[in-house]
Homo-oligomer: A and B are copies of this chain.
Amino acid sequence: MNRSLVLLLVSLLLPPAPAAAEAPPISEATESCLMCHEYLHPGIVSGWRSSQHAQVTPAKAMAVEGLGRKVSSEEVPEELTQVVVGCAECHTLRPSEHADTFDHNGEQVHIVVSPKDCSVCHAVEAAQYSQNIMAHAHGNLENNAVYQDLQHHVLGTPTRVDGELSFAPPSADTKALGCLYCHGTRLHVAGVETRDTDLGEMEFPVIDGWPNHGVGRINLDGSLGSCSPCHARHAFSIETARKPYTCKQCHIGPDVPVYKVYSASKHGNVFHSKQHEWDFNAVPWEIGGDFTAPTCAVCHVSLLVDPDGELVAQRTHQMNNRITRRIFGLVYSHAHPKDPDTTKIRNKDGLPLPTAFDGTPAADFLIGPEEQAKRRTEMETICLNCHGTSWVRGHFARYDKSHETTNAATLEGTRLLQEIWSRGYAQGPEAGGSPFDEAIERRWADIWLLYANSIRFASAMAGGGDYAVFADGYYSHSKRLAELQEWLAEREATGEAPEK
């Protein structure tokens, strides 16, 4: 009989030890979890013990007044307020709503904690995040026929039959490793399995799509998203969430080279060389005092104050309140979508895309000039804490220009591809083909899926230079265009007809 079993049995026979005067109170249920899991998964428990959750009761957290308050819910169920937020407090919450709830030593435990669980204490953040386009990242990809076509030809397993290359649909595992790693999987309880444990045979749910910490994960209570990508694991460290390494997990490139550009920017330079002097845990976060250059969180998420404690920017988990345009993932950059569910969008050709093939925006579905101006002003308010007005205006003028030039160049590339299609050198949608399955089409995709974005991000974060030019920037953008041109000219010269 091993130690964890002994300890569990002992724990069942004895009442929990009275907490020391200063020790934060842990619920009986959580103590019972810890009895085994401290030995089974010490890394999880030590992470949790280092967290604020393990040290502060909701009652104490709710007693904080002003900007330092971290619990945003106005009310928290009484039974949760007097103990710290431990294993049981989250993993046994709302048991009837989680499809993975199972009986585990007498408790109704679910494996996957969802934003809706977190919202019990953090209601404002959960509500904001539901308006974040990231919360909808799964459906926005999986329920859009155009993206599905791209995903099919990128992730699918190729087979060559009769001289033609075709792609078998990607498996769930491949999708989970690929696009859904960031977009989030759809979790599903596939059944129950019995495992031999130190406590004998036990039953556990088998969850398809697990593990995953994609931002748009569809949870077993039907809620959207996951808090784990940023508030990692059981430490829920604000420090980690505020450092750019967190965003890097999904925003590394080349389709979305945010971290790379940031790291090469002046902001990144100051962060990397001075972060050891900063306070990444202060709430609210003081400009100049706690940090001297922005991380991703500063501009897009965090609650900021000036050295007098005056509010500069409210915390937001919607994250796009200061973002005017969507600059990656689509053929042309465009005003940000109004609704985080982008499957509703229809362009003038009826496709679920925010622009037409010729760049015309699906304006009804995108924020208008007034909202764009409001968002721009909100962002500038932050910039102005460290930059003068002429600096900020000059910066955004270049940013706007980068969209104009990249969209114009991409349009030329699209026209080249359309001519290639119209001459029959490749099979476009009008001829019943996919726009993503032939090599020349993939070179066209590079233009907007990789290079145009790199330029725009370099512009957005004042991290130009290499990322705007040689590192997947204008240098590659114009090269791919020249390649499309060469490809078409060569076929015209040889009078060659396409092979299929």
Contacts and interface: CB of A to CB of B under 8 A. Distances in A.
A415 B160 CA distance: 9
Interface string A162-197: 010101001101101111011000000000000100
A48 B150 CA distance: 50
A157 B409 CA distance: 6
A160 B397 contact: no
Nearest to A182: B465
Most buried by B among A385, A474, A496: A474
Interface string A237-279: 1011001011011101111100000011110111011101000
Given A165-B485, A245-B272, 17 more contacts: A39-B306, A42-B288, A43-B288, A43-B387, A158-B481, A160-B416, A163-B489, A165-B481, A174-B401, A210-B394, A211-B390, A211-B394, A211-B462, A237-B273, A240-B269, A250-B466, A439-B482
B246 A111 contact: no
Contacts of A437: 482
Contacts of A470: 253-255, 449-450
A210 B391 contact: yes
A-B CB proximity, top 6 nearest: A46-B288, A43-B386, A489-B499, A181-B464, A173-B401, A439-B486
Contact of A248 (B182, B269, B459, B500): B269
A319 interface: no
A493 B493 contact: no
A363 interface: no
Given A272-B245, A292-B46, A493 B485 contact: no
A439 B160 CA distance: 22
A492 interface: yes
Interface string A477-500: 011011101100110111011111
Nearest to A50: B292
A398 interface: yes
A95 interface: no
Contacts of A170: 405
Contacts of A41: 384-388
How many copies make up the complex? 3
A206 interface: yes
B390 A210 contact: yes
A440 interface: yes
B439 A252 contact: no
Contact of A459 (B171, B177, B256, B268): B177
Given A177-B468, A181-B468, A264-B248, A482 B287 contact: no
A412 interface: yes
Contacts of A240: 269-270, 273-274
Contacts of A171: 401, 405
Interface in A410-442: 412, 415-416, 437-440, 442
Nearest to A268: B245
A473 B178 CA distance: 9
A233 interface: yes
Contacts of A467: 252
Contact of A479 (B235, B394, B442): B442
Nearest to A480: B439
A271 to B, nearest CB: 8
Contact of A40 (B239, B253, B384): B384
B388 A438 contact: no
Contact of A42 (B253, B255, B266, B306): B306
A177 B464 contact: yes
A466 B252 contact: yes
Contacts of A384: 40-41
A492 B494 CA distance: 12
Contacts of A256: 466
23 contacts: A44-B387, A46-B287, A46-B289, A158-B408, A163-B489, A165-B412, A165-B482, A173-B402, A177-B401, A177-B455, A195-B389, A210-B394, A211-B395, A237-B274, A245-B273, A248-B269, A249-B269, A249-B465, A253-B470, A254-B466, A254-B471, A439-B485, A489-B499
